[in-house]
Amino acid sequence: MKSVFFGAVSATALIASAVHAEPQAEVLHWWTSGGEAKSVAVLQEEFAAKGGTWTDMPVAGGGGDAAMTALRARVLSGNAPTAVQLKGPAIQEWYEEGVLADISAVAEAQGWADVLPASIAGHMKCEGNWCAAPVNVHRVDWIWANADVLEANGIDMPTTWDEFNAAAEKLQAAGVIPLAHGGQAWQDATVFEAVALGILGPDGFRKAFVDLDMDTLKSDEMKAVFDQMRTMRGYVDENFSGRDWNLATAMVMNGEAAFQIMGDWAKGEFMAAGKVPGEDFLCASVPGDGFLYNVDSFAMFDVDGDDKKAGQDLLAELIVGQNFQKVFNLNKGSIPARTDVSLEEFDSCAHLSAKDMSESSDNGSLLPSYAHGMALRGAQSGAITDVVTAHFNSDMSSDEAVNMLADAVANSM
């Protein structure tokens, strides 16, 4: 089913029209932690400054699963929010339901095509029409570390998985938790895909988690990924089950744990707590080549009323505006989706992220995150994550895991 689109009227023209519609927006999102809440507040303030009325609808849960359940209920009841945090193939799935609005008028008036990387712009379009507004680019495959803990134990940031394992053994012997982790399915998947990128390499990762190539899913290299996951299971504390990701970040902040493998939204937590990169905490890409990206964006749902439509246009204009792109990403830990935003005020980790993204884009190793909904549709990504979590929380062998992985993917298609 094709999407229902509203008329091509720019945000400025709509708001200044004879209707004098006051922009209204009910915004569903899952930005509820410290750094995230501070970031979304920036958009609320800009929206209010332009005369808009914002109704906040936060749904806790870092992976967004709870938010999607809430969204489904709202859409089925015929009462969709005006704007929803969506990303990757999920945008296309909702478009196929016929419930997304067209924001092409704003995108064209603001010249989005000239300032967004083509790969990111592609996620924001539905059959050639702009249907979502990108907020940022997150890198997923980061290792974060407590600088003092590493220095006290004579450990450098690991550049191979063997080095990571050696550091973890040394930390355990010193009574430090090597790896801060929350036992939630999406966090398990985040660690898994970071390990997979390092062991499979960019081409192998693409074959496995974008192309769903069965030979790769059942390969010896994939067994090695599960072997490393089994090793890492021994580096987390016994209370990891159900822990939220930001609480795991706090463990690194306070020196209870040394490392966390998490996207750069974790940096937003460090920064919100007044921590300084390079002094209080360290950042490095996980061992191996490539760059896993996760792009936050907002899709606009088909709604009735000039006030809500004006709100959607204003939101889209602000979200991709240079000021919001800068201020939001300074708070969030990510880098701007726009390529023309100065990084002068950004920290060293952001500069490293931008440099690596540019190089990975040039050499073909810029890859969508499967764990964060950028590479696969829900059925396929869910099938993979179910196996990852089952393996991580049991004594399942790597042989059993790869066979289960291949079967789960095949059955999900």
What whole-number distance in Å separates Cα of residue 71 and Cα of residue 59? 10
- The closest of 123, 152, 153 to 135, measured between CA atoms, is 123
What whole-number distance in Å separates Cα of residue 262 and Cα of residue 33? 14
pLDDT of the residue at 62: 59
Q: C-alpha distances in angstroms, 267 versus 137, 196, 253?
A: 13, 22, 11
Residue 34 has pLDDT above 70, yes or no: yes
pLDDT of the residue at 277: 95
Asked whether the whole model's pTM tops 0.95, one would answer no
* Domain segments of the chain as ranges: 11-136+296-349, 139-293+354-412
pLDDT digits (tens, 9 = 90+) for 373-383: 899 988 999 99
Q: Which of 31-40, 194-203, 298-307, 385-394 has the lowest mean pLDDT?
A: 31-40
pLDDT digits (tens, 9 = 90+) for 49-91: 999 999 999 998 756 788 889 999 999 999 999 999 998 999 9
Residue 6 has pLDDT above 70, yes or no: no
Q: C-alpha distances in angstroms, 269 versus 80, 162, 272, 393?
A: 31, 28, 5, 27
Which 3 state secondary structure label does DSSP give 281? strand
Residue 41 has pLDDT above 50, yes or no: yes
Give the CATH superfamily of 11-136+296-349: Periplasmic binding protein-like II (3.40.190.10)
Q: Is 139-293+354-412 the same fold as 11-136+296-349?
A: yes
Please state the φ and ψ torsions of residue 139, each to the nearest 5 degrees.
-95, 135
Mean of pLDDT over the chain: 91
Q: What's the topology of domain 139-293+354-412?
A: D-Maltodextrin-Binding Protein; domain 2 (3.40.190)
- Residue 275, Cβ neighbours under 10 Å: how many? 16
Residue 2 has pLDDT above 60, yes or no: no
pLDDT digits (tens, 9 = 90+) for 246-261: 999 999 999 999 999 9
What whole-number distance in Å separates Cα of residue 22 and Cα of residue 16? 10
Q: Does 300 or 12 have the greater pLDDT score?
A: 300
Q: Rounded mean pLDDT of 37-53?
A: 91
Residue 27 DSSP label: E
